[in-house]
Structure 1
């Protein structure tokens, strides 16, 4: 993942419409590489390579997508990542007054962590407040995710701004469906369903959201990590496009960012990562469902779209295996912090019981 620390690396492959390769196609490529089932040629026999100015094509695409009527004061933080040059340029061409920080490309990310989160966004929040700017915008390493700071220097909740923007798109399109993953806050449903929209829940991962957008003809999709997909333009999460479209939404509704998000109910989400081996994480998720159902006997619904997710009368709990790291991701949400903490305590105990049982089985099978 591009937001991982600098020692991680990887290759992303996309379809011509911008959608990432799904897991099945990725595994086929991995199999070809591992088996050596490909042909090598001498350097002099390589095919032709064409170099184009894709950066300029992208800038042109964004500028053709919208016009801003207000001279926004924007603080842009690319985090020394891929958006370091292009994001400030686009906002300037849209007529914004731009202050850029951490805008020197550097794969070691000296300015801050490449993942925009509460801790890494604190310096940006401070700059926004000191300058009296309208908004702060931060991107992850490759620019497909975005985070926002409001005009008061407050770090905007990822789930709530996603829900607010989804509702805005639905109002503009006069209804329809929007897609998000199973980890997104229940405030998403509250906002979407209150204006007659439909929510489609998918596995965690932007490729699954993109697939749902195509399959159901949904008008918008996004994940609470800041990855938003705008099918009118393409099927790849796009941080720069998302941030410009958010400013346009604020103009259309005549609101500041804090006012835009204030309409979304605030619930309490707690996320925990439990480190374990790649093989063990899948075994734990397979076995934990029964214990979760016993721990929450009044649950309303069970989903196995991605891991195990129980809907409760006052929140929900989900356990799933990370797709990129040796971790189990445990997420709970409650109508209050006290409720969320109670749900988390029970869920954590269930996961630990399953993990201890697996460890005991492993010891027994390895003895004698």
Structure 2
């Protein structure tokens, strides 16, 4: 039998939910700056984190991020090792405050990752579920409005963008006196964000920030005064803020690459410009889904659909493997949906250009023509 090599495509587009595509300009710059040794005999990623060279990298990254988000002066920006799941535990360990009667925690159930966060929080405190997403289709995020958070809750947690479920909050809830805490991992830096609405925001890096292994935490300073007795030193926000992230060795490579990404976003025109591009990309893909006559379907209601993670299904599930195989042959990779929900998913983070989304939309139309 003669084996034919796979058809070559000029460009391969990576739609992975994370670790995800990095901007081409950042990859090129990283190649020039990170892996060449300087006069001190060390490459950028080999230098001690306590030395002046890395401290400048850290300070610059913090300043650039604060400028992008217009972070108020009474907040601290931390770059911590680990992923968002570390913060599922770190948040209750830091924010519970029995001395003030804050012994419970409040969560909104919006999908897969919010439930994972609740599961971890339940190790440390009783969880009050104050809002839930709609169970029927089309799916929607929990209704915002005025949530009644019990007075003994230390905070109220939301997952701003559900990567698995493909839904996002169209507006932020009113949680009263309870600080609003957000896992913003999959939407962070995809659009402007009013930091002042939150007591704490965290986002792991492998979506719009940089390589996996780091999480950004933006925390209001008054919350750093809570006792955090259960938090090990590397997990303690107060200690990390006091030491400028130096309680343990920080993820130096991730921080330096993140700083490059922050500068790239600024060069693109900032978050307002990035948001406009992201909206064009997601509109293009959702339009391809909605205009297919039911061949493709999006299970999330318009207005609640994620701009970053477009979840969709085929009317005939038997075609999924054919779709994935043909898509990969066409240079469109990592489109399989999460194992919990099945179907298909295209993640359109900042570094995915409009051309990649257009290529996917064209492929979907051609696949429907052949298989519909």
TM-score by length of 2: 0.32
RCO comparison, higher one (Cα < 8 Å, 6+): 2
TM-score (norm 1): 0.33
